[in-house]
Structure 1
């Protein structure tokens, strides 16, 4: 039997999941939250007992009104603690979105004010730096059919 008191004393890290959805022109679907500045991938917090993949699907369904076609994990990005906010592990899943699906998007007005399809080179002009940094390695990993590990949106130096 596990030592429940010991397990309860261990540090916790928040989890989040996001969808990197590309249209047939290679543009990235970004959403604009009403409660913070900038453009982000659709997604959100992983709820207690929920897997990262299930959280990504649920968040897309809530935020976009559709269940995305996801091909798999493309990125795990560890976000360091800052300004009193705990560290976070962000799981990014890659997928596609059709023009017909874009036409059917339904955003919750209390949470999201807009969406856009952005060319990858335009994302640094739209997204906060930590999101923009994540895009190049995530898009590369998506194209290569693999996942990449990042820390604060950057690939860590190789360990010796």
Structure 2
């Protein structure tokens, strides 16, 4: 079991985040991997399903092992670089009405704060650091090891 997301930015470096109907938290476009689906393809498919954009992944930023809890089994979560979206792409965003209620492009700090409302934002913080360093990172429960 696992999930994948794309880190998408606008031409000003703001991060695209989405707000699902079924959660109180904002997150990057993405979701659960399907059976026999790679993390990269899951990130692309989920992004298309959630916001209607076909975006190719650029590179892996973060792989995060999440330990099992009473609510879910252990899983891997991935963040890929989706690159910079053009003004035309942003204008072409179409939300999946039954799943996503809103999207916005926000600063790094605002994205971290909005994602943190639902729990730790360390995976996103590490993904942003990798954009600068160029070196992908492995995490366990959102923390470096």
Specify if TM > 0.5: yes
Alignment correspondent of 1:151: 140
Q: Post-superposition shift, 1:133?
A: 1.4
Aligned residues of 1:73 and 1:146 also touching (Cα < 8 A): no
TM-score, normalised by the number of residues in structure 1: 0.83
Write the distance in 2 (CA, Å) between the matches of 1:78 and 1:31: 23
- Structure 1: 5+ residue stretches without partners: 1-13
1:92-139 deviations in Å (ceiling 9; x for gaps): 100222222111100011100000111111123211223x21122111
1:82-97 paired onto structure 2 within 5 Å:
82-96=69-83, 97=85
The match for 2:110 among 122, 126, 137 is 122
Deviation at 1:27? 1.0
Question: Counterpart in 1 of 2:9?
Answer: 22
TM-score, structure 2 as length reference: 0.91
Residue segments in structure 2 that go unaligned for 5+ positions in a row = none
Give the alignment partner of residue 133 of structure 1, picking from 115, 119, 122: 122
> Which residue is 2:38 aligned to?
51
C-alpha separation in 2, matches of 1:150 and 1:79: 9
Relative contact order (C-alpha < 8 Å, sep 6+): which is higher?
2
- Equivalent-residue separation in structure 1 for 2:106 and 2:48 (angstroms): 21
